[in-house]
A and B are shown apart, each in its own frame.
Chain A
Amino acid sequence: MESKILKLTTGQKLIVAEDPGLPLVDLYLLVRAGSILDSPATEGAISFMGEMLLRGTKNRTRAQITDALDQLGAEIHVEVSAEDMMVQGKTLSRNLEKFLEIYSDIILNPIFDENEIEKLKRETLADFKQMREDDQELVGRFFKRALYGKHPYGMLTDGRESTIPKINRKRLIDSYDALFTQENTFFAAAGEIKAQVLSQRLSRDFSAMKKSKPTIVSIPEFEKMEGRTLVLVDKPKRTQTKVIVGHYGINHHHPDFFPMMIANNAFGGGGFATRLMQEVRVKRGWSYGAGSVIRPRKKNGEFYMVVMPAAKDALNALSLVLSLYETYQKEGISEVEFELSKKNLINEFAFKMDTAKKLIGQAISIELMGLPQDYFSTYQQKLKAVTLADVNRAVQAHSDPKNVMMVMVGTASDFKAKLKSQFGPDLKVILKKYTDDD
């Protein structure tokens, strides 16, 4: 299996990996910008616009779209993240022709019907009620908000209870017009397909797509973070807490990116052998899971650690995580950890190319994140070149245990009174209710 890149007559790229193994086709339209372009007052509008593509076109009502897809055994979903959008289609390969008629229709001809807009607003608000039952989801949302503040990365992709009602049809049409152009989009496909045949068909279907100058996204600088802040999200009757601790991270283009990947893989990003897992779960049994993540974005992104201790162990677990992080920053990782982590990352590269979908996923990442074309072909080589000294210098430079944002979802009365005595008087505590919108 391999992926290749074709150019449509529209000028758009088509990334393809042919795989006749199963009678399925996955098709993607990628948009080179996402919810980061939302305005704070109508946060969630771009994600809302994406969902509205499936709610009626010039040729089909919402029910007709659903029925037509169901009859083919096909699906279309729109996924929106901060920096990109994806219209993801999946069909049985024998139905590809008919599927493409619907796929191009929803992308090219959405009508943004007023009734459907109001209906989707009510549906989205009802979904938020469901979301607040999920502590994992809650801790992630509050962390993103607390870490990035008013920076565009702090906006919630699906919006908030207070912003969804303010979305209107004009806002949706404006964002659609700005993003769904030939210059802002490209295609990818994997499965039982012939690349040339698909290329001709997409060239024909999307010749009607609007042309424009590419949308330029400028991402502002982050505000400096100082000290330790704990956002305590109060939710009743929790026997377990969810905790995230982190700060800004680094991006793919930074020369320390590969050393930091190795370091983080040893600290908490890898499997059971990681330091966080060994200390928090294996030695103490305090949490079912413990790990750390480097999430690169176009601009830095974030580094964070996660634990989920029982309420009775929550403060001790948080203290332990902070202390492990301090040691990591000061001393880096050991030779043994370094060797294990490096081998793990080099060997697991095979999982980036074991399906046709993952192969095109690599090429999509290169396009969307602006990575060098040889990023994946030199991936293992770059890891091999990293030394322990590189890793520990990078860890010292990019880890910052004194200045962290911490979010804990739990029943506040269980530990509110003990926070200052356990973490010192300088700890800034912000109390939120789990139903808070902001």
Chain B
Amino acid sequence: MRDFKKIGAVVVFGIAIVFILIFVMTSGKKQKETVTQIERVKAWGSVTIHYYRLQNGLEVLLAVQKEIPVFAYYTYYRVGSRNEEKGKTGLAHFFEHLLFKESKNYKEGEFDRIMEEMGAQTNASTGNDWTNYYEVLPADLLKIEMAIKLESDRMQHMIINEAQVTAEMGVVQNERRLRVDNSVEGKMGELLGDLAYEQHSYKHPVIGWMEDIEKYNVQDCLEFYQRYYAPNNATLILVGNIPVTETLDWIEQYYGSIAPSQIFQKEIPTEPPQRKERKLKIVREDIDVEKALYGFHVPSENHPDIAPLDLLAEILFNGEGSRLYRRMIIEEEIVSDLGAGIEHLKDPGLFQISVAMRKGQPVQKASNRIFAEFENVKKNGVSSAELERAKNRYEMGYYHSLETVSGKARNLGHYHVVRGDYKEALTVFGNYARVTVEDIHRVAKIYFEDSNRNSVLAYPKRKSHR
């Protein structure tokens, strides 16, 4: 994030309603010479999505929700930390900062000034697979046009020079100190990625290694900008009270002349299967209790096993009613914090489990119980009541994520960029609703082997650490 909020491997857990009906009302209709309407889709409640493509490759999703007095404007670029090279890690995130600076048409600070005058909330975020830039604004024609003008400007006209790169490097170094160096959880997350991956670029942190951040130069930044910031590498997602015709006209007017780029698709190495358990121990002066972060390799977001794995995380680890929360936090009182989740990524990610022990309790106790519980599930499966609970929690989480125009835009953006089709955001709950106890049993047996496990263990200083 450019400001205050959390970055990192951005995880979007999504579930959609089974009974949502998707009506594809039009397809392949020519709107104008340079704009093609792909389809019109009925989505959540009163929301209708209009999907277009410009001749230069820019994709546009206009999700109209008339009763809302604001609109969200998200630009998703298909570039994230996955596209970075060794020695230049963190560049995708660095752009998140640079794109708020000077352009050929707007002086330093002018973007923020104009946006703030209009009452906008602006920010950006970077994940492994994408970078997004967004503003949420009161819905009126002047503001819609101005937002389109400013966003199209920074897609093509940013000035990247020595002074800007140097100034922003300092800010990003401070951001890294905040999120990683002075945060136990941040540090453990970074170490887990480094431990679990050998070849794939998911190995390095989204924010980048400090020694790489210190070496950014203008040439690297210019190349990155020219390569990835182009209409054929982007999707615009507008959600809220927007007039379709005018909005589309302005998008065509301001983006239509931007030339597409030759997107360089660097081959990202496939991660070889892990054959042996990996373990890393750290000692810190600023913690008082032992902690663990485990990661098991699991498939990419579009794999059918993701839904049962998500639900297994709910059944075993998440919420007071989960098996291990109930046992280790409520009954035995040996753990103070427990949770699990999957990174929903384009390429295979990790099923992560985090544990914080209570004072004096060895983390080994939690490890023993967690791994024994996986063995138990492999042998005996889970009950249908447990599965029902997990599905209900998921459904609730999904709707919760759709409450604002930004939430809707983020869901559409994630599914469009990571899974290749925004409509997955509308139907994803079907994947969860169809999961059976047999599916859970099956995935437990496939993924939770010792040889597929990575462990980062943190011990307070002065404790003997084994």
Contacts and interface: CB of A to CB of B under 8 A. Distances in A.
**Chain B binds chain A:** yes
B178 A285 contact: no
Contacts of A235: 286
A348 B67 CA distance: 17
Contact of A75 (B44, B388, B396): B396
Contact of A22 (B45, B120, B284): B45
A193 to B, nearest CB: 14
Contacts of B404: 354-355
Contacts of A372: none
Contacts of A119: 330, 333
Interface stretch (A127-135, A221-229, A399-407, A419-427): A127-135
B46 A21 contact: yes
B119 interface: yes
Interface stretch (B108-116, B214-222, B274-282, B415-423): B108-116
Contacts of B3: 272, 288-289
A73 B396 contact: yes
Nearest to A67: B321
Given A21-B45, A22-B399, A240 B178 contact: yes
Given A70-B321, A74-B396, A351 B121 contact: yes
A273 interface: yes
B167 A273 contact: no
Chain A binding surface SS class: mixed
Contacts of A344: 116-117, 119
B170 interface: yes
Nearest to A342: B117
Given A237-B286, A281-B171, A282-B109, A22 B117 contact: no
B15 to A, nearest CB: 10
Interface in B52-69: 65, 67-69
B112 A272 contact: yes
Contacts of B120: 347-348
A14 to B, nearest CB: 21
Contact of B116 (A71, A130, A273, A355): A273
Nearest to B406: A354
B21 interface: no
A182 interface: no
Q: Which of B178, B288, B358, B391 has the most chain A CB atoms closer than 10 A to its own CB?
A: B178
Contact of A351 (B136, B337, B395, B402): B136
Interface residues of B, number: 72
Contacts of B70: 350-351, 354
A32 interface: no
A76 B112 CA distance: 39
Given A92-B399, A129-B336, A348 B119 contact: yes
B431 interface: no
Given A72-B392, A347-B117, A286 B174 contact: yes
B99 to A, nearest CB: 12
B116 A1 contact: no
Contact of A271 (B65, B115, B396): B115
Contacts of A126: 289, 333, 336, 358-359
Interface in B261-303: 284-289
A75 B396 CA distance: 9
State the main secondary structure of chain B at its contact with A. mixed
A24 B399 contact: yes
Contacts of A270: 116
B118 to A, nearest CB: 6
B119 A354 contact: no
A308 B178 contact: yes
B174 A71 contact: no
Contacts of B356: 130
B288 A92 contact: no
B69 A310 contact: no
A349 B44 CA distance: 26
Contacts of A133: 184, 286-288
Contact of A71 (B117, B289, B389): B389
Nearest to B4: A289
Interface string B291-330: 0000000000000000000000000000111000010011
A361 to B, nearest CB: 13
B138 interface: yes
A92 B113 contact: no
B115 to A, nearest CB: 7
B33 interface: no
A273 B177 contact: no
Nearest to B100: A272
A4 interface: no
Interface string B61-94: 0000101111000000000000000000000000
A126 B361 CA distance: 11
Contacts of A74: 396
A116 B381 CA distance: 31
A73 B174 CA distance: 40
Interface string A66-96: 1101111111000000000000001110000
25 contacts: A20-B45, A24-B396, A24-B403, A70-B320, A70-B393, A71-B392, A73-B392, A90-B400, A92-B399, A123-B336, A135-B182, A271-B112, A272-B100, A273-B112, A273-B113, A282-B108, A285-B167, A285-B169, A285-B170, A288-B171, A344-B116, A351-B136, A354-B68, A354-B404, A355-B404
Given A92-B395, A350-B139, 7 more contacts: A92-B392, A122-B358, A126-B359, A283-B167, A289-B3, A344-B119, A354-B68
Interface of A: 1, 20-24, 62-63, 66-67, 69-75, 90-92, 119, 122-123, 126-127, 129-130, 132-133, 135, 235-240, 270-273, 278, 281-289, 308-310, 340, 343-351, 353-355, 357, 435
Interface of B: 3-4, 17, 44-46, 65, 67-70, 100, 108-109, 112-113, 115-122, 136, 138-139, 167-171, 173-175, 177-178, 181-182, 184, 284-289, 319-321, 326, 329-330, 333, 336-337, 356, 358-359, 385, 388-389, 391-393, 395-396, 399-400, 402-405
